[in-house]
Structure 1
Amino acid sequence: MMNWNEKIKQFEDYLRLEKSFSNNTLEAYLSDINKLKDFSLENLEGVTPVNITYEQIQEYLFSNSKKKFSERSQARWVSSLKSFFKYLVEEEIRADNPTTLLEGPKLGFYLPDTLSETNIERIVNAVDLTSNLGQRNYCILEVLYGCGLRVSELVDLKISNINFKENYLRVDGKGEKTRFVPFTDFTAKVISDYILNSRKDIEINKKFEDFVFLNRRGSSMSRVMVFIIIKELAEKAGINKSISPHTFRHSFATHLLQNGADLRYIQEMLGHSSITTTEIYTHLKTEELRRVIIECHPRNVLH
């Protein structure tokens, strides 16, 4: 038992200090490795990270694959385990790497879910603007869609990082990368109205005075809270697909691309380190074009 915990702790320190992993990525990796630890303790007597074999790891992955996890989750488990055992080999804790031959499931091209402009309006219109929390939620939606922020960036957004004179946000994104995201006059008005009016009615906890979005207790909001707000508003608006804060980010990028924005600018605004990540949206554009051709091309009319 100690052996697993000790090695996982050392790996955590390595990821945090040497790889500068964000907390979310770190938690995902550690969760995956702890699942292997739990499986070993329950099913593989005397097995530790130092002596576990390729076959035993395969057995663990096979037992998981029967539990209807998505292919993306399975691919991430393999990636986490490969990193863990590569670290053990590099630190000379193990002589061999039992995950060398492991392959994750082949992922089909993953297209993020997006909302049409009409559905975004429906969700925004579902907000009750008569309360302070409603005003806050309205502003949250506007910042997610108007600036394309990740939910972690939204909850960490500081008032001191908003430049109303030039209309841009300074965002501290993944991997401690800072970017500047411009916003429209409309978004500027929504944010300043919220800060100057409903936000000031909250009794603000001293530590969180600079945070834009606050909960009822005057502290910073959790990511989970933002998920719940959006889920409830989508249900209220009668939209029956699974929607998360990320759906607004995807919609921000897709609508910019559909309206002619250059992919490089979108990459910059989303804070993607690689253009390849942003290129996912060109596939969305292709889907859109295909739909337009099918619906509008005169050759598609049956004679």
Structure 2
Amino acid sequence: MQSIFQHAKNRYARRIPLTDRLKHVLKSYITERGVLDTDLLFITVENKPIGGRSIQDRLKQYGEQTGISKEVTVSPHAFRRTFCRLKVEAGTNLFVLQRMTGHQSLEILKRYVEIYGRDLEQAIEDGFEGL
């Protein structure tokens, strides 16, 4: 299996497995976007990198246009928290989720999803009774 390496905001590289589903999605995206003379995946119409702030602004705009932002927070961070919450609720192994999200420790992951994962603390503690 191939991998993609992403440099997160903490400057650590994160290995993202290039699954068959992800390959299919990326191929479709590149076909729609067209082949360009750049190694960058997400770019503006001027062939410049899309910045994080641009993505935040666009999500905010879409949230307001659709009215969703009246009910929930619409931001990359909110999407990341939701992803974590859904993975916890689906029973994803916490060590796998930690690797997926790039959290340095389970304690940080626990704090990150604490507002959603009522059973997360117990799940982390399970198996450590008496230690």
Does TM, scored on the shorter chain, surpass 0.5?
yes
Which residue pairs with 1:220 in the alignment?
49
Q: 1:183 and 1:273 mapped to 2: Cα distance?
A: 22
Aligned partners of 1:167 and 1:188 also within 8 Å: no
Which residue pairs with 1:233 in the alignment?
62
Task: Summarize the alignment of residues 86-105 of structure 1 with structure 2, pairs less than 5 Å apart.
Answer: none
SS of residue matched to 1:225: helix
CA-atom RMSD in angstroms: 2.5
Deviations 1:141-180 (A, max 9, x none): xxxxxxxxxxxxxxxxxxxxxxxxx364312224432221
Aligned partners of 1:172 and 1:178 also within 8 Å: yes
Task: Summarize the alignment of residues 1-303 of structure 1 with structure 2, pairs less than 5 Å apart.
Answer: 166=1, 168-182=3-17, 185-200=20-35, 209-239=38-68, 240=70, 241-280=72-111, 281-286=113-118
Amino acid at match of 2:44: N
Q: What is the count of residue pairs matched by the alignment?
A: 117
Q: 1:282 and 1:170 mapped to 2: Cα distance?
A: 28
Aligned partners of 1:167 and 1:185 also within 8 Å: no
Q: 2:45 and 2:87 mapped to 1: Cα distance?
A: 34
Q: How far apart are residue 224 of structure 1 and its match?
A: 1.6
Do the aligned partners of residues 223 and 175 (structure 1) sit closer, same or farther apart at CA in structure 2, a change above 3 Å counting?
A: closer
Q: 1:249 and 1:242 mapped to 2: Cα distance?
A: 11
Larger radius of gyration: 1
Q: 1:168 and 1:252 mapped to 2: Cα distance?
A: 21
Amino acid at match of 1:214: I
Q: Percent identity?
A: 23
Deviations 1:45-73 (A, max 9, x none): xxxxxxxxxxxxxxxxxxxxxxxxxxxxx
Q: How far apart are residue 211 of structure 1 and its match?
A: 0.9
Q: 1:263 and 1:278 mapped to 2: Cα distance?
A: 9
Q: 1:262 and 1:248 mapped to 2: Cα distance?
A: 20
Question: Greater helix percent: which structure?
Answer: 1
Which residue pairs with 2:125 in the alignment?
none
Aligned partners of 1:211 and 1:220 also within 8 Å: yes
Amino acid at match of 1:285: G
Q: 1:178 and 1:198 mapped to 2: Cα distance?
A: 26
Q: 1:226 and 1:248 mapped to 2: Cα distance?
A: 12
Q: How far apart are residue 250 of structure 1 and its match?
A: 1.3
Instruction: List runs of 5+ in structure 2 lacking aligned partners.
Output: 120-131
Deviations 1:93-124 (A, max 9, x none): xxxxxxxxxxxxxxxxxxxxxxxxxxxxxxxx
> So what's the TM-score if we normalise by structure 1?
0.35
Instruction: List runs of 5+ in structure 1 lacking aligned partners.
Output: 1-165, 288-303
Q: 1:226 and 1:174 mapped to 2: Cα distance?
A: 14
Q: 2:101 and 2:3 mapped to 1: Cα distance?
A: 13
Q: How far apart are residue 221 of structure 1 and its match?
A: 0.9
